[in-house]
Amino acid sequence: MNGIELVLIAFVMFVAAYKLYGGFISRRLDVNNNKETPAHTMSDGVDYCPAKAPVLLGHHFASIAGAGPIVGPVIAAGFGWIPVYLWVVFGSIFIGGVHDYASIVASVRHQSKSIGFIIQQYIGVSGKKLFLVFAWATLILVIAVFTIIVADTFTHIPSAGTSSILFMILAVFFGIAIYRLKVPLWIATVVGVVLLFLSIPAGNLFPIQLDASTWQLLLLAYIFVASVTPVWILLQPRDYLNSFFLYALMIGGLAGVIFAAPTINIPAFNSFSLDKVGYLFPALFVTVACGAISGFHSIVGSGTTAKQLNKETDGKIVGYGGMLIEGMLAVLSLIAVASMVNKEFIDILTTKGPVPAFSLGVARFIHAIPVFNFSVESAQTFTALAVSAFALTSLDTATRLARFMFQEYFEDKEKENKSVFVTNRYVSTAITVAFGAALTFSGQTMSIWPVFGSANQLLAALALLALTVWVANLKKGFLFVLIPMLFMFAVTLTALGMLIYTNFIATNYTLSIISVLLFTLAIMLGIKAYTVLTNGKELIKETI
């Protein structure tokens, strides 16, 4: 087996799945363009803002990708390449794609509100409150984890910090050009992409040297600003332009696989257990998150993406298509490290981490393309910069989404008491960033990651639970969401249970308590949803 075969098999399966299974989901959800989407009917120029499908796909893909489909498969490759490959391919098609696509459609049908609002409609206000607390807590973990990752990257690669600042300035001008000066999208894109790639050598010429703590403070200030500004002026155009960065990385890497024809050198199956990772079940399905399914995607889909969906049928390419593209990135990540000699892979992973291992593997593929004539070192720098750019994207998107969760939680109280001011976007963002900062500077560093991974995947299970109840109320067959939901609950509750035990034994009581709270919230919400479904036994019989 070599890398070319793995790429071609995954590509053919994803294309077929988009046409066949994506079409099946569209029919089950009755996707059509009969009504205007909330991006038009509720347009406010801040959060609700219609975007063309290519722009929205770029924003959505950049937001959901981050470093997840790179870090997860690389770490999990220690189990062997076959378990990771199978989970990425089949997980993306039958679980992640369903989760992402249905989340967007469900949100659009409910004024582009979050999954929490959908839970309120079908499970009750208390169910919504539980979900919003869980989602907000998970996003605080995301903010802390990615603030640490991005700050460390900028500290060790100062040019990446400069390039990222230039990205942001470019995005503002791009947004003004498209939405205020009405420059045609293709012209703005060509100019924007050229300037985007020129910012890389500019970063090398003028690297910004700061320590990690300073970068963390600057990043926290940045995400506050990014969360409260209109999406059209920064978030949407920045993510759209950055998506070309990732597209270039993927195209270069996958084309490089064809030229390099790498042999798969790590074992097909290595072990049922890995140090610091855990047992194959549930660790594989929690570690390989974004490359197969991620609860963060449902928050993005129902948080920012649904508010920008121009027409309902765009949801298929943005939601289902975006997940399959991310699955392809996860396949590339796996092949990048699987092509290394096993000892080299383990040495790089344990001493430098998953991103350098991925960067070196992909750099070797790009180096093999004759027309590019890139050195391994240059290609490795480009790859590392691309990963850091998308980690930053996940960071500011998570902050805006956490603000949405916080505002929704207090919406009812605001209606009862006009003096409640926490729904103000500046106040809710400040509170969110303050909690993220507290966890960032708590000294837990990357020991937060296992809890984040489990919470993120449990969030996916809760989103699938809400979607199951919604589809059941549509009087449609809902096994296509029910089965993934049951599987993800089994995986994530088991993982959280293990984390509670291991953190308690290690006297890491902070993370142990967080794990207990997340576990309890999920169980309580699951019981409420089960009650709703069992009270509608006739509905279940009719729709299964």
Residue 419 burial by Cβ neighbours in a 10 Å radius (0-12, 13-18, 19+): exposed
Contact 457, 293 (CB under 8 A): yes
**501 vs 429: CA distance, rounded Å:** 33
Q: What is the pLDDT of residue 542?
A: 42
Residue 448 burial by Cβ neighbours in a 10 Å radius (0-12, 13-18, 19+): buried
Ramachandran class of 443: left when φ > 0, alpha when ψ lies in -120 to 50, beta otherwise: left
Please give the structure tokens belonging to residue 543: 């729709």
Contact 76, 84 (CB under 8 A): yes
Q: What is the pLDDT of residue 129?
A: 84
Q: What is the pLDDT of residue 540?
A: 41
Torsion of CA 423, 429, 431, 434, to 10 degrees: 180
Contact 340, 81 (CB under 8 A): no
Residue labelled with tokens 């249970």: 497
**62 vs 236: CA distance, rounded Å:** 10
Ramachandran class of 235: left when φ > 0, alpha when ψ lies in -120 to 50, beta otherwise: alpha
Q: Which of 355, 450, 436 is nearest to 395 (CA)?
A: 436
pTM of the model as a whole? 0.85
**351 vs 462: CA distance, rounded Å:** 36
Contact 51, 61 (CB under 8 A): no
Q: Who's near 486: CB < 8 A, 6+ residues apart? A: none
Contact 318, 485 (CB under 8 A): no
Determine the length of the chain: 544
pLDDT tens digit at each of 544 positions of the chain: 789 999 999 999 999 999 999 999 999 999 999 989 999 999 887 788 898 898 899 878 877 877 778 888 998 998 999 999 999 999 999 999 999 999 999 999 999 988 888 888 887 888 888 888 888 888 898 898 888 878 887 887 788 788 888 888 998 999 999 888 999 988 999 999 999 888 878 887 888 899 989 999 999 999 999 888 887 888 778 878 877 888 888 899 999 999 999 999 999 998 888 777 788 998 899 889 888 999 989 988 988 899 999 999 999 999 999 999 999 999 999 999 999 988 888 888 887 778 788 888 999 999 999 887 888 877 877 887 787 777 777 788 889 889 888 888 887 655 555 546 777 889 999 999 999 999 888 876 656 667 777 888 888 998 998 899 899 888 888 899 999 999 999 998 998 888 888 888 877 777 788 788 888 878 887 787 777 767 654 444 444 4
- Find the DSSP H helices in 66-184: 68-76, 81-91, 97-108, 115-122, 125-156, 158-179
The vertex-146 CA angle with 162 and 298, nearest 5°, equals 120
Contact 26, 316 (CB under 8 A): yes
Q: What is the pLDDT of residue 415?
A: 57
Please give the structure tokens belonging to residue 262: 């790498």
Q: What is the pLDDT of residue 539?
A: 43
Contact 464, 480 (CB under 8 A): no
**469 vs 447: CA distance, rounded Å:** 35
